[in-house]
Structure 1
């Protein structure tokens, strides 16, 4: 816990490690947050293991507010970890997380080796969540720069970030949703994304004209 600075915990996505969040980490520090990384095994270990560890980590950064920012699969895990209200308060920002289920993941399961690539996270990525009814305000940043291989393995819809369709990121119960000109991996190095993350963590809303 860092005195007087809001705590933020970053979660990487599938097939990634914490260093993938390095640029976002630096930019959020420049915005005045105390930023921490959360590493987990996205393929070899069951999601329940990561969720239990994440809840423990959030508690360790309390008792003040602890915000969570998750990219892709990391955003889904963040919501599952924070469904109960027994954790320190805070907001969640998801970056390109297929909260409604991933068409790319479903497509991969029908290809040779797909199950192995998705590992223990397969079911969670395929089906997503029904809605968000937790106490935390949740914001979603989706991308619509179609650069990536996801469209070649599954149906992503008219607008997508190369891996996740914009409609796959819309979940009932979200406090805010905005769409930026970025690809799925490009979110991690985008200055616009970092600024919108900071805005939502402070205010519980985005300040783009595309936000509802």
Structure 2
């Protein structure tokens, strides 16, 4: 992310969500983004994930600047390389947990049978294998959160973007999820996590602090020497 700014609205209604942010995340690195409400944390994630376009500056994923790509090309980069954990889960109500988790792999061209096998393994990794054939409205908020996390980790996702991934989870389950994200980074992926929990810094390599759309501080996390 190079000198990235995002402006919403015009004139008197203009809001600068991000202002000239520079942020590079290397393979194997786990970065937390912190800051008060309205500081630009979620905007940073949506830009990094190709879900929105920067007003100025450039977002680069694995050496590919997203600014020059069309909508379908950006969707292909997002599908193949990025796992995204949305704050509101974004599960498809008409699909079971296993089907929701397996969707990215089917879009990758994997057979439905193979996608289900991988989905079941991802659900087991999060200790929710018993939810495989349940629909989202048959799950608690915490269960839906873990299904969404399983979906973000399935396949070869080399960049994982997580918006408050432990927000609906109890502390024990939340720590387990952070351990999974840490392990994915240790295996070579990059991860960026928006969080308001200072204790989560123990799991990450760096913590970047946003205020009013500006990156104001960067500190070392507890996972930095792993």
TM range (shorter): 0.3 to 0.5
TM-score (norm 2): 0.31
1 or 2, which has the higher strand percentage?
2
Greater C-alpha radius of gyration: 2
